[in-house]
Structure 1
Amino acid sequence: MARGNGLDDLSRRLKRIPEEVRKAIDPAVTQSAEEMAATMRAMVPVKSGKLRESIVVTPPGGTTPAHSQPGGSHVVPAGAAVVTAGNSEVRYAHLVEYGHMASGWSDVPAPAYPFFWPGYRLTKKRARGRINRAMKKAIERGWSS
């Protein structure tokens, strides 16, 4: 009999862990995304300030701006946050990030001024650590209760 109760207790604890983890990582993910966005805003070249202002964080359950880079409009799943650059007024974030060659509308090629991916790379290790710590604490809480 005691053995059955122990298995029930173990099963109950294991089922509760994913709920605790989901609750714990959303704030850590959002905080990390805000940090990434701040780094990107600091790195973006400023002419009018519109591109800098278009760098936004969409928290879990939110919808990204319609004309944002990368990916356009979509609903952010639980446990994730999305940093985007661009909106319906600012549709040139990718041209600033990667530069562009001369084309029909411009005779002068523009150099690249990377801000998005360097901002991500500079902050991803810290973000990963923050999220892992939040998951570990949640698992420990779920296991001990």
Structure 2
Amino acid sequence: MTKDLKAQSKRLAARLEAIPSEIVAEIKPALIASANDLANVAKALAPEDKGDLIASIEVTAPGGMTPAYAQGGGKSQAQVNQAFVTVGNPDQCHGHLVEFGTDPHKSGGQFEGTDHPGTEAQPFLLPAIRLTQDRNKRRIGRAIGKAVRNAAKSGGGDA
């Protein structure tokens, strides 16, 4: 990360920290609704017969912890102004392989040494993002505008 980008990031973090908690609280339902919208579209687009991949698509609300998934069982905590949509869990960690496909390769594990032909990409998450981003931006923008107007009417906040 460049020095300029680090400085910008620190300034943005300070500005976000200064947002009154009342405004953040009013925006939370729009963040959750937007994440649910994205998750529902991703589930509709996911190419899974058994539903294991679909069932692994989850929403993490602001302040929540994502499920452990993918390599290393990593978890992330959503900040108060974030909602996450994750794909995968400890038993289903192949979402990225479905989304982006795989190149031909030598297999490991039980079938070690055999030639795997690779798999075609079957995107579901990136198309869901593209399909929902404008609607979600409008929803969150309206919530921010309303929250700021409400804070102005009530005389500010705790910042």
Give the TM-score band, short-chain normalised. Answer: 0.7 to 0.9
Aligned equivalent of 1:85: 87
Distance in 2, matches of 1:61 and 1:110, equals 36
CA-atom RMSD, angstroms? Answer: 1.9
Runs of 4+ in structure 1 off by over 3 angstroms are none
SS in 1 for 2:59: strand
Structure 1 residue 20: deviation in Å?
A: 2.5
Task: Provide the TM-score with structure 1 as the length reference.
Answer: 0.83
Q: Deviations over 1:98-118 (max 9, x none)?
A: 000111115221100000111
Aligned equivalent of 1:123: 132
Aligned equivalent of 1:56: 58
Task: Provide the TM-score with structure 2 as the length reference.
Answer: 0.76
**Structure 2 residues not aligned, in runs of 5+:** 1-17, 108-114, 155-159
Change (3 A) 1:51 1:98: same
Alpha carbons 2:101, 2:122 under 8 Å: kept: yes
* 1:136 to 2:145 alignment: yes
Distance in 1, matches of 2:97 and 2:90, equals 15
Structure 1 residue 45: deviation in Å?
A: 0.2
Give % identity.
40
Structure 1 residue 67: deviation in Å?
A: 1.1
1:41 alignment partner AA:
K
Aligned equivalent of 1:114: 123
2:55 alignment partner AA:
E
Change (3 A) 1:115 1:43: same
